[in-house]
Chain A
Amino acid sequence: MEDFLQMVASGVVIGGIYALIAMGFVVIYKATGVINFATGELMMLGAFFCFTGMTAAKFPFAAALLAAAMGAAALGALVERVVLRPLMGKATISVIMVTIGLSSIFKGAAQLVWSGDYRAFPPIFPRAPVRLGSVVLPSLQFYPFLIALASCALIALLFRFTRTGTAMRATADDPLAAFSMGIDIRRVFSLSWSLAAVTAALSGVVIGTMGGISPQLGAIGLKVFPVVILGGLDSIGGALLGGFLMGILENLAGGYLDPLVGGGIKEVAPFLVLVAILMVRPYGLFGTREIERL
């Protein structure tokens, strides 16, 4: 039981980060219909922005985080304007491949600028482990988790209650109707990419503070797919819940199944679940069911 609780607790922690990554992903999908394969690399760049702010520019953590978020927002808008807009309305394969191409560029650029080495984040949080009942969480898991949770809440609130958030939801619902009501769709597209990039940057920083950063950090971005398919591609709430469920599931699978199959099941289990979901309920828990009309 003790083990079980511990595994669930670690799962919740990593799940909070998945949830945050997935939110950035869903924001883009909802607004522009693009599956962003560069999510992981946007995370990695955001983490490096923050890292550079703290080490080279000697900013305090909060200021570096803010600077990283601003940098990511600018990058997101730039990417949308330069790369995604010319491909608006093109075939799925083109849009998928262009984000894959972007991820390759980002990875190369990060290696060029920061080298391929692995770096540890400067210490930010108090060191003492946090005790919640019988479960002990290392401080390097607990505090980043709090940041992830706060970021999730912030973004959900932005989406729900601000004027811009409403415009984004309207555009997601029906671009044409939104356009005729005077919403500047192009601005919304560009804002969604900025918002998604900021989300990605935040999650990158959270992961970076937990386990250090390197240009390979982006590989974790693949984990976003099981999460968003479980939650539903176009549901923010689904991304949140899916993130936590996947985090827990992955930890439990790692704990209980790894000894049976010889390792690595933690990486694969989410994808097995993904296939199962695609077979029974492809639109996920809370996603909109796609109906084709002629």
Chain B
Amino acid sequence: MRIGDYKETYAADEAIFRTPAVRVWMGALGATMLVFPFVAGDYLLYLANLIGVMIIGALGLNILTGFTGQISLGHAVFVGVGSYAAAIGATRLGLPFYLCIPLGGAAACVAGTVIGVPSLRVKGLYLAIATLSAQVILEWVFSNWDSVTGGIRGINVPPATLSGVSLNTDFRVYFLIYAVTAAFTYFARNLFRTRVGRAFIAIRDRDISAELMGINLFRYKILSFMVSSFYAGVAGAVWVYFAKVVTPEYFPLSLSIQFLAIVIVGGLGSIQGTILGAIFMTLVPELLKAGTEAVKPFFPDAMSYLFPLRDILFGALIVGFLIFEPHGLAEMWQRVKRYFALWPFRS
């Protein structure tokens, strides 16, 4: 609890960025993000874009799993639906990207509703298994519905163009991705200050109590599923403009698990945690790769250990966080902040 934290107006109480310090830091972050692409190399830009897409997708999953308490093991296929919808919109319908991205979101939202209606009649473990089936079934649809998805060859997508400028490099796509990421982060942050968002949290904390308080469980669960799939679809659509191609093998069960891992490592029910988790879970494998490359002169076959090691590290991170740090990176960050709040007047 901070000392001297007085709110004198309603505006101050409702502000998203509550203190001058936060506003300064957010400004600094924004400035850094703007300058970053001008100084970063291709590789860093690629990673940054990947992280941006993962943030959007993981935010969606955190809304569903972290805030509403509904487990989804099929998040990746909703990303896939968004990707395919955007790709089809861009190629066959010739739509511009600013229509394709919402189209991807809307398509995923529809898919989410279709799958959510039967799935949400069950809960907990059963829901996990129902969404797992959605993953398997939709993955199969992606690779077998040749006339729409292009089968295993997939669909090639032309780069997005904005008033004549083709967003054909990682540098240019960066701005597209982060504009969308920022908007969706802002929306998610605000969602939980509204009636709907509070209902989600109430359902997570105790579904029966929530129902007794007049929250229509099924309606809000479906709503959460829809919002979550919309996020996934947008992530997929943005990703299409980054990767330029969409094929079925981009959306395996392991991507769903990757999203869950981001949400868990970052912190269930934390927007900030989702962002930290997406950064962390994307960078750790890259650091491992760099590490393996660094020891290559001494162990010539180090690279053959890279994939097994990555699997082990991935699993160990999930298990380790769940056992030792169940609230994830968000909680660790809060601890660091609390420590420095009164520094150096506290041990």
Contact = CB atoms under 8 A, between A and B. Distances in A.
Contact of B208 (A110, A264, A294): A294
A102 interface: yes
A154 interface: no
Interface in A100-158: 100-112, 116
A75 to B, nearest CB: 15
Q: Is the interface of B mostly helix, strand, loop or mixed?
A: helix
B261 A279 contact: no
A107 B313 CA distance: 11
A261 B141 CA distance: 10
Q: Is the interface of A mostly helix, strand, loop or mixed?
A: helix
Contacts of B318: 97-98, 100-101, 104
Nearest to B324: A86
14 contacts: A83-B319, A94-B264, A101-B317, A101-B322, A108-B308, A112-B305, A116-B307, A261-B144, A274-B129, A275-B118, A275-B119, A275-B133, A278-B133, A279-B118
Contacts of B71: 92-93, 96
B316 A282 contact: no
Given A97-B261, A108-B308, A225-B129, A278 B144 contact: no
A292 B208 contact: yes
B291 interface: no
Contacts of A78: none
B309 A263 contact: no
A90 interface: yes
A219 to B, nearest CB: 9
A108 B288 CA distance: 14
A63 interface: no
Contacts of A103: 315
- Residue from B119, B134, B136 whose CB has the most chain A CB atoms within 10 Å: B136
A5 interface: no
Contacts, number: 140
B274 interface: no
A35 B128 CA distance: 10
Contacts of A104: 257, 311-312, 314-315, 318
B137 A272 contact: yes
Interface of A: 35, 83, 86-87, 90-94, 96-98, 100-112, 116, 222, 225-226, 229, 233, 261-265, 267-268, 271-272, 274-275, 278-279, 282, 292, 294
Contacts of A111: 307-308, 311
A282 B121 CA distance: 9
A278 B118 contact: yes
A272 B137 CA distance: 7
Nearest to B130: A278
A105 B122 contact: no
Given A104-B311, A108-B309, A222 B316 contact: no
- Residue from A100, A112, A229 whose CB has the most chain B CB atoms within 10 Å: A100
Nearest to B121: A279
Interface string B58-71: 00000001000101
Nearest to B326: A94
Interface in B225-281: 253, 257, 260-261, 264, 268
B260 A97 contact: yes
Given A101-B322, A272-B137, A275-B137, A92 B128 contact: yes
A104 B122 CA distance: 27
B144 A264 contact: yes
B133 A105 contact: no
A92 B136 CA distance: 21
B323 interface: yes
A93 B65 contact: yes
A202 B140 CA distance: 30
B156 interface: no
